Amino acid sequence: MKKIITNFLLLIFCSVPRFIKAQIGTDKIHTINEDKSSDPGFVENFSFTPVNALSKGFSDIKSLSKKQLNTVSLLSKAGMDKISLQQAKYAMMLDVAIESIKNTTLYQFIENWYGTRYRFGGTTKKGIDCSAFADKLLSAVYDLVLPRTAREQYKFCEHISKDDLLEGDLVFFNTRKGVSHVGVYLANGRFVHSSRSQGVMISSLEDNYFARRFIGAGRVN
């Protein structure tokens, strides 16, 4: 019974304005009863349609609506205390199930840096470039050290197939004359990086811009 309730509650989160990817499929569309109580019984009043959150423009962890925040609160009141707001936010951004967000050190690091502006040669919160951000993340989260530039990092790591990417691997792009941009892979085709346009953010390898410029992937052991 607890497993059934858990699955239903996860579906609730998928019914808010921007959605996370649920693991149970359905074709029905309803809305959540506005009279939400902490009693899990209200889950009978809804269904959902999975939507790719990133493709709908959800790219800022600070843009959760009040309804989304209230839904996380409901999950907690219903006994889902192990689900944190941070898990919920990044599950939405990566379009994955909440329970797959397990590396709290990684996502806390990203949250601390998210939105920091890009600065060529920068290494601090006042501004940071892509290779410095990758180095700081791998050092803080995985205790790994990288060379300074994206090109050096590409030569330094073990090259792997795009299909073999795992959390913490590096992804490289040709944005200007060879290997010139690097990001850190997260999950489901998403990676975190310091972009020239928006600073530290999460993007998709399937975005046209990055798909056309993708050079390869690497793993640091």
Q: What is the pLDDT of residue 70?
A: 55
Q: Per-residue pLDDT for the chain (221 aa), expressed as one digit of tens each?
A: 444 444 444 444 444 333 333 333 333 323 323 333 333 322 222 222 233 333 333 344 444 455 555 555 555 444 455 568 899 999 999 999 999 999 999 999 999 999 999 999 999 999 999 999 999 999 999 999 999 999 999 999 999 999 999 999 999 999 998 999 999 999 999 999 999 999 999 999 999 999 999 999 999 98
Domain check: are 82 and 117 in the same one? Answer: no
- How far is it, in rounded angstroms, from Cα 117 to Cα 102? 27
> Which of the 8 DSSP states describes residue 128?
E
Report the pLDDT value the prediction gives residue 94, as an integer from 0 to 100. Answer: 97
Task: Determine the pLDDT at residue 155.
Answer: 97
**Sequence-separated (6 or more) residues with CB below 8 Å from residue 166:** 185, 219
Task: Please report the pLDDT score of residue 68 as a whole number.
Answer: 54
What's the pLDDT at 49? 27
Predicted pLDDT at 177: 87
Question: Residue 84: what pLDDT?
Answer: 84
Residue that the structure tokens 């941009």 belong to: 181
Residues 133, 215: one domain?
yes
User: Domain check: are 91 and 112 in the same one?
Assistant: no
Q: Are residues 81 and 110 in the same domain?
A: no
The pLDDT of residue 81 is 52
- For residue 21, give the nearest of 55, 71, 64 by alpha carbon: 55
**Helices marked H in the chain — which ranges?**
2-13, 66-77, 85-94, 104-113, 130-142, 150-156, 208-213
Domain boundary among 100, 128, 145: 100
Q: Find the helix or strand (DSSP H, E) in which 186 lies.
A: strand 181-187
Do 126 and 86 lie in a common domain? Answer: no
Residues 6+ apart with CB under 8 A from 155: 147
Number of domains in the chain: 2
- Regarding whether 64 and 112 lie in a shared domain, the answer is no
Cα–Cα–Cα angle for 136, 87, 130, rounded to 5 degrees: 25
Q: Please tell me the pTM assigned to this model.
A: 0.68
Single out the residue in 100, 129, 162 at which a domain terminates: 100
Residues carrying an active site annotation:
130, 181, 193
* Domain end call among 65, 100, 135: 100
Mark whether 16 and 71 lie in a shared domain: yes
Domain that holds residue 21: 2-100
